[in-house]
Amino acid sequence: MIDRNETGLKMYALLAELFPFCRSLTGTGVQETLSVIEKDVPLQYTYVPSGTKCFDWEVPDEWHISSAFIRDTAGVKIVDFSENNLHLMGYSVPVCGWFTIKELTPHIFTLPNKPDTIPYLTSYYKKRWGFCMRHNDFLKMKDEKYYVEINSTLKPGNLILAEVYLPGETDKEILFSCYYCHPSMANDCLSGVVTTAQLYQEISREKRRYSYRFLFIPETIGAISYLNLNQSTIKERVHAGFVVTCCGDPGKFNYKKTRHGNHEIDRLSENILKFSNHPYQIRNFWPGGSDERQYSSPGFNLPMGLLMRSVYTEYPQYHTSDDNLKFVTAQALGETLDLYYKIVLGMEGNRHYHSQNPFCEPQLSKRGLYPSLGVQKDHSDEIRNRMWVLNYSDGNHDLLSIAEKMNTSILDLIQTAQILEGAGLLKNEE
């Protein structure tokens, strides 16, 4: 048994280390983030230059920020980016000068309903500037004019797509895609980054039937750039995958289905959740959310699911300073990782077997696979599994469909199939 408490603590520690960096689509915070992940994950980089056309989009300039603040007439900084990354609207253009409160107010964003919370805003494609602040602090601004300074640069540079690939017996890939572009957002964004990094480490140690690819990219434009670069191969390559985000809050699990709706990965995820003892909800695909919007656009239609805790946009902390290190827990991260890992085990073990004795039942007792003195209760489940797997291993049923008929976990049937295969009663002839 793997100790998931320890896994969760390790994931939380990485999340806490990455939390303070000021990430965006591009810039220093991205480079700092990737260099920390690189300690455990051998990332390969693709650089996409600013201005590159990707379908209907264009890669924006690189943004770097060194400082940003608003000072009152007494010289006191009333908002300071160095105190919280969220105080500055992402991709703000440089500004320097005095503004009347009337001129400044359209550049200030608050949450009047949550007066002590800072909103998270970006403006990647329209050149503007803005500060995000606590509404209560905004109400204290009584001066006639304020001094504003934003020391940012927006210049041609590169978007960084980071990936790592683990080859398996087949070229068919399972794709895990997470996004790194949110500054100081613990559940939305970073929980997906640490889950993907941990999954890489665990899957890299296993014998693999499928190949696996793990992407660390900026949301939306990163996925669009990646799909643009891989347009000719990706549909053929990807068997199924996940957009990994919102893995760390203690809310119940939500599985958002792929656009296909009844793909193997949808059925597997539901099977694993059903026998996990965790509360969960299955949600049909909708064309909003994260990078599934790109992967599951009709031209690609890749079967990408999402295993989340609380669903992005629906939890009150979403895109605010309340999505922080207190909102995510080591335990929740460990539990989510465990479910992902079990889905991978299910995917690896879900095969079509052929019974080698299709004419009447094989005699299990002479092979030591059936108790000769009648069935004791503690053996009865396993005997039942053996009978179902033998009967339905006709080449037309994979283990998942047998598990669904039986209303049992595929992980139990994988063990059963291995025993029967070891006794020469089943063959996997794919």
- When the beta carbons of 188 and 266 are compared against Zn ion, the nearer one is 188
x/- mask, Zn ion, residues 144-183, rule CB under 5 A, reads ----------------------------------------
CA distance 133 to 127: 20
CA distance 127 to 287: 27
- When the beta carbons of 188 and 398 are compared against Zn ion, the nearer one is 188
- When the beta carbons of 60 and 289 are compared against Zn ion, the nearer one is 289
CA distance 120 to 197: 25
Q: Can you say whether residue 51 is alpha, beta or left, with left for phi > 0 and alpha for psi between -120 and 50 degrees?
A: left
Tokens, residue 269: 């995820």
Among 188, 264, 270, 323, binds Zn ion (CB under 5 A): 188
- When the beta carbons of 304 and 413 are compared against Zn ion, the nearer one is 304
Judged by CB under 5 A, which stretch of 186-194, 206-214, 227-235, 254-262 contacts Zn ion? 186-194
- When the beta carbons of 188 and 348 are compared against Zn ion, the nearer one is 188
CA distance 251 to 126: 35
Question: What is the torsion angle, in degrees rounded to the nearest 10, for the CA atoms of residue 299, residue 301, residue 302 and residue 305?
Answer: 140
Strand boundaries in 23-121, DSSP class E: 44-49, 53-54, 57-58, 62-71, 77-80, 95-100, 108-109
Residue number of the CB closest to Zn ion reads: 188
Residue 267 parent element (H or E): helix 264-274
Q: Does 292 bind Zn ion (CB under 5 A)?
A: no
Least Å distance between CB 188 and Zn ion? 4
- When the beta carbons of 69 and 120 are compared against Zn ion, the nearer one is 120
Least Å distance between CB 226 and Zn ion? 18
* Polymer length of the chain: 430
- When the beta carbons of 188 and 249 are compared against Zn ion, the nearer one is 188
- When the beta carbons of 295 and 392 are compared against Zn ion, the nearer one is 295
Under rule CB under 5 A, how many of the chain's residues touch Zn ion?
1
Least Å distance between CB 313 and Zn ion? 8
Phi, psi (degrees; rounded to nearest 5) at 216: -120, 105
Q: How does DSSP classify residue 227?
A: H
Least Å distance between CB 181 and Zn ion? 8
- When the beta carbons of 182 and 239 are compared against Zn ion, the nearer one is 182
Q: How does DSSP classify residue 248?
A: S
Least Å distance between CB 424 and Zn ion? 53
Tokens 């550049």 correspond to what residue? 107
Our measurement of the distance from residue 403's CA atom to the centroid of its chain's CA atoms, rounded to an integer in Å, reads: 27
Judged by CB under 5 A, which stretch of 25-33, 58-66, 184-192, 326-334 contacts Zn ion? 184-192
Least Å distance between CB 173 and Zn ion? 25
Q: What single-letter amino acid sits at 245?
A: T
Residue 293 parent element (H or E): helix 292-295
Least Å distance between CB 120 and Zn ion? 8
- When the beta carbons of 164 and 178 are compared against Zn ion, the nearer one is 178
Q: Can you say whether residue 32 is alpha, beta or left, with left for phi > 0 and alpha for psi between -120 and 50 degrees?
A: alpha
Q: Among candidates 246, 255, 309, which has minimal Cα distance to 282? A: 255
Phi, psi (degrees; rounded to nearest 5) at 109: -120, 130
Neighbouring CB atoms inside 10 A of 250's CB total 13
Q: Is 243 helix (H, G, I), strand (E, B) or coil?
A: strand
Least Å distance between CB 29 and Zn ion? 15
Question: What is the torsion angle, in degrees rounded to the nearest 10, for the CA atoms of residue 331, residue 333, residue 339 and residue 340?
Answer: -160
Least Å distance between CB 119 and Zn ion? 12
Least Å distance between CB 114 and Zn ion? 17
By CB under 5 A, name the binding residues for Zn ion: 188
